[in-house]
Chain A
């Protein structure tokens, strides 16, 4: 069928079953938007391109499907760079389509020209510049294949303006032919066998589950193994949700702001089974002394991650969809008395868990983070998707908010992008319209993409926003108080605007809570208001995130809190 490039791109999106496109129009994508307008693919016009890319990312995290966004050349797609990097660091499948200036103008510093494929090379899984309309269907097919298979990631397709107007004979390729890429990574079965043997020899095993478990959809298998064999679990921030937080052998998040029990378990265990985790510095603390008594088994799809940070004794390089069924089969078919063998180890970790739970300091009538999370938890169910921004509230959410299911906790982990939360929550809700979506955000983060309140209002996207309002950039402020003699450089914002009024001005009703006495009434208003709504909750500015492992220290050198003082033994 003969058609122009823009129409062909829309046809490609239909073949890829794209449900929604997030974007912002501009000069070089006028023809594309003209064709999109004629199609039945819904488009969400955000307030800023950064909002569009984070929304596509939130959609992808909540649904497991590839997020799609459009932007125009130059400033349009440059505004997406932070969002692309965010997705890249957390292995989120996105396909970003950007317009480029016309072929004959490329390389001449034309109006709204930027070399976006050059700019995004280090932060995309792959990218393309399309100058010939006949390449378009193949490139789009490859882009979706690359983004969504293997270790997922963002792919950018930059398309010259004239390509949208040129005609081609459209045919969508059935198959993808890429000599340098294998989307289905299977490893060696003997490595899985070695991992099983290591588990049989262990007395104090521990699972460290990462985002890869969620990405691969192998949470159920991992749960099967650890529950039947009674093995304690700790997660990374990205792995939150792969094992229910309420399961008693789940010791919580590990690392810089991890739980006492989780960090001590890593220090004490004799076998650490890392599944789909990449040993980020926020998890390991001092790498030289990470899991000092343990043999390390590392399951990961990406060969680059094996031995990158922590030397693995046994590595199983391959897709978890391949390795986890084999591992589970072998472990569960053994007649070993796992329960008896690990009993005393379980007692140890559970004693730590009971002795040092996460806790906020009570402060008069003020709302503490713990109180707030407990109150929200009581009003939400296991299907609720919790989205966070970045900073103190993010760590408190990881610590206090119990997530029961995979893909129900959406947060920017690797890049730690402030301003991610609001648009991501919007994308999550659009992808999962039946689920309650709650955004936990801080007064620093929410201001960074607050223009998206207008988008929530325009499309009536029901996101419940809770602002942890302490008039400081909390995490920065915490570090300054602890390590810079209390000099609070550029982290105090006494004139912070009333977010309830900001959101209300854009059509999202806002409410305010200043004391624990009106917390329940405030939450009533938030959850009973139909559509999107915001609750601005004033919390004490002194409240810090504890425990805390100072940068470069060992995990067992965590600071537990101010009143308990000192460090762990």
Chain B
């Protein structure tokens, strides 16, 4: 099962290594991981999506993460309703005007934005839920994709209460 974890930790060097290292040592698969600043300057939020076989494995991961000295809090977002989004950028080859027109049309249909246009290529920016991003990428496979960069999902719980108060 896939689980979305939000990890609040001290904004100090080495934190991401500690978190990622622990997860890999315990042989848990990370699907994606990203880190960034938060509303508090000394707190970093690491968002990870892990695949675990069962509840026991998940509890182990959460407890082990919580044990790290520089981890302030670990919350499993799947325990309550949450929203989850991803950003992807795709560079596609477009050798002629017809393909450019097709891609522009496709971008419109998928609510993607074209953020770079060159004589022989363009870059699409897609934001959305995971399946939306995936559907867009699937369609783009019919063209010559040169490069893909994805952030992985970031997630927030629904409602008033932030993760730090959960």
* Complex interface: chain B residues within 8 A of A121 (CB): 17-18, 21
> From A131, which residue of chain B is reached at the shortest CB distance?
B13
A 292-333 binary contact with B (CB < 8 Å = 1; else 0): 000000000011100110000000000000000000000000
A178: which B residues are within 8 A, CB to CB? 69
User: Within 8 Å CB of A125, what residues of B?
Assistant: 69
- Bound-state CA distance A178–B12 (Å) is 12
Please name the residue on chain B nearest to A311 by beta carbon: B56
Does A134 count as interface, using CB distance less than 8 angstroms?
A: no
> In whole angstroms, how far apart are the Cα atoms of A126 and B14 in the complex?
11
Are A179's CB and B67's CB within 8 A?
A: no
Are B21 and A180 in contact, with the CB atoms below 8 A? no
Contact A180 B10 (CB under 8 A): yes
B59 touches A (CB below 8 Å):
yes
Contacts A180-B69, A181-B69 given; indicate if A304 touches B21 (C-beta within 8 A): no
A160 in the interface, Cβ–Cβ < 8 Å?
A: no
Contact with B68, one of A180, A303, A307, A308 (Cβ below 8 angstroms): A180
- In the complex, how many residues of chain A place their beta carbon closer than 8 angstroms to a beta carbon of chain B? 17
Verify if A519 is at the interface (C-beta below 8 Å from B). no
Report how far A307 CA is from B21 CA in the complex, Å: 22
What mask results when residues 17 to 49 of chain B are scored 1 for a CB within 8 Å of chain A, else 0?
110011001000000000000000000000000
Q: Give A131 Cβ to nearest chain B Cβ, in Å.
A: 9
Is B72's CB within 8 Å of the partner chain A?
Answer: yes
Contact indicator B67/A118 (Cβ below 8 Å) = no
Task: Give the Cβ gap from A180 to chain B, nearest Cβ, in Å.
Answer: 4
Asked whether A129 is an interface residue with its Cβ less than 8 Å from the other chain, the reply is yes
Tell me the residues in window 49-78 of chain B with beta carbons closer than 8 Å to chain A beta carbons.
56, 59-60, 63-64, 66-73
Q: Which B residue sits closest to A142, measured CB to CB?
A: B69
B103 on interface, CB distance cutoff 8 Å: no
Q: What CA separation (Å) do A181 and B25 show in the bound complex?
A: 21
Q: In the complex, what distance in Å separates the CA atom of A180 from the CA atom of B66? A: 8
Q: How many inter-chain residue pairs (CB < 8 Å) link A and B?
A: 38
For the complex, give the distance between the alpha carbons of A307 and B60 in Å: 9
Question: Number of contact residues on B: which range applies?
Answer: 20 to 34
User: Cα distance A178–B60 when bound, in Å?
Assistant: 23
Write out the residue numbers on chain A whose beta carbons fall within 8 Å of the beta carbon of B18: 121
* B70 and A129 within 8 A (CB): no
Does B66 lie within 8 Å of A303, measured CB to CB? yes
Which B residues are in CB contact (< 8 Å) with A126? 68-70
B70 touches A180 (CB 8 A): yes
Check if A173 is an interface residue, CB within 8 A of chain B.
no
Q: What's the Cα separation between A122 and B26 when bound, in Å?
A: 11
CA distance A181 to B73 in the complex (A): 10
Provide the residues of chain B in CB contact with A302, threshold 8 Å: 67
Given contacts A118-B17, A122-B25, A180-B9, contact A304 B64 (CB under 8 A): yes
In the complex, A129 Cα to B14 Cα: how many Å? 9
Is A146 close to B, CB under 8 A?
A: yes
Q: Could you say which residues of chain A place their CB within 8 Å of the CB of B67?
A: 302-304
* Option from A129, A146, A179, A304 in Cβ contact (under 8 Å) with B13: A129
The residue of chain B having its C-beta at the shortest distance from the C-beta of A179 within the complex is: B72
A117 within 8 A of B: yes
Q: Which residues in window 114-164 of B have CB below 8 A to A? A: none
CA A304 – CA B66 in complex, angstroms? 9
How far apart sit A179 and B10, CA to CA, in the bound complex (Å)? 8
Closest B residue to A178 using CB positions: B69
A121 to B68 Cα, complex, angstroms: 10
Does A180 contact B17, Cβ atoms closer than 8 Å? no
B60 and A304 contact, CB distance less than 8 A: yes
Tell me if A146 and B60 are in contact (CB < 8 A): no
A126 to B18, CA, bound (A): 9
Give B17 Cβ to nearest chain A Cβ, in Å.
Answer: 7
The distance in angstroms between the C-alpha atoms of A117 and B64, with both chains bound, is 19
Which residues of chain B have C-beta atoms less than 8 A from A146's C-beta? 69
List 16 contacting pairs A-B, 8 Å CB cutoff, sorted by A: A117-B14, A118-B17, A121-B17, A121-B18, A122-B21, A122-B22, A126-B68, A126-B69, A146-B69, A180-B9, A180-B10, A181-B69, A302-B67, A304-B64, A304-B67, A307-B56
- Taking Cβ atoms with an 8 Å cutoff, the residues of B that contact A are 9-10, 13-14, 17-18, 21-22, 25, 56, 59-60, 63-64, 66-73
Q: Which 10 A-B pairs have the closest CB atoms?
A: A126-B69, A180-B72, A304-B63, A179-B72, A181-B69, A180-B71, A303-B63, A180-B70, A121-B21, A304-B64
